[in-house]
Amino acid sequence: MTMLDTTPIPSESSETASPILGATRAGVGRTVMLGVALVGAWAASIAGALTLETSHNLHMCALFLHLGCLIAGFGAVMTLDWFGLLWLSGRRALADVLDVADAAHPLIWMGLLGLAATGMLLEPSLTPLTCVKLGAVLLVAINGLNAMRLNHAMGRLDRDPDRPMMVWSAVTVSLSQLGWWTACLIGFLNAH
């Protein structure tokens, strides 16, 4: 008996499914389209940040909401990663992690969207450090699409994940942590 207690979900098209990643052409195509949309939204938020002028009161409200979105999005990421560590240590089933991922992903995306929207109102200056932060935010967003594909692929397994799936998981978590912590640290440094 494996640690998985989930029923495998049939692939979108068994003829075109990758045996390692569980990806289909249609699924990859949707992910690429979402990636293009994310890059467009990221660029639009930067353009908006460079053109919008805000009053002191609006700036303070945006800062408060920005911090709230950070708590919601990054808190959900940390919770999900904690459950992943519990699974790796044998203290939780993979099905538990997948359930947490299903519940956390909308909160993560809402937090990230809120961060982008409120960040436009904070009138950032495009210093080299801020450009690194914006790159980290884009990394987090694109990696979020990767994480959703990973979650879907793991949910379809009828056995324990193999080494390539474990490497995919480790890279996904590492990129997520790197991106979120980089953006947080630079945001803190820019505030002082």
> In this predicted model, what pLDDT tens digit does every residue of 28-84 receive, in sequence order?
888 899 999 999 999 999 999 999 999 999 999 999 999 999 999 999 999 999 999
Is residue 47 a part of any domain in this protein?
yes
Residue 17 sits at φ, ψ, to 5 deg, of -80, 140
Is residue 84 a part of any domain in this protein?
yes
Which of 127, 140, 135, 131 lies closest to 172, judged by CA? 140
Q: Residues, the chain, total?
A: 192
Is residue 8 a part of any domain in this protein?
no
Quick check: 2 pLDDT over 60? no
Is residue 17 a part of any domain in this protein?
no
Is residue 45 a part of any domain in this protein?
yes
pLDDT tens figures, 90-101: 999 999 999 999
Is residue 18 a part of any domain in this protein?
no
Is residue 147 a part of any domain in this protein?
yes
The number of folded domains in the chain is 1
Is residue 112 a part of any domain in this protein?
yes
Which of 105, 111, 91 lies closest to 155, judged by CA? 105
Range of the domain at 72: 24-191
Higher pLDDT, 87 or 24: 87
Which pLDDT does position 23 carry in this prediction? Answer: 57
Tokens 């008996």, residue located: 1
pLDDT tens figures, 110-137: 999 999 999 999 988 889 999 999 999 9
Whole-number Å distance between alpha carbons of 129 and 186: 7
Quick check: 17 pLDDT over 50? no
Which pLDDT does position 127 carry in this prediction? Answer: 92
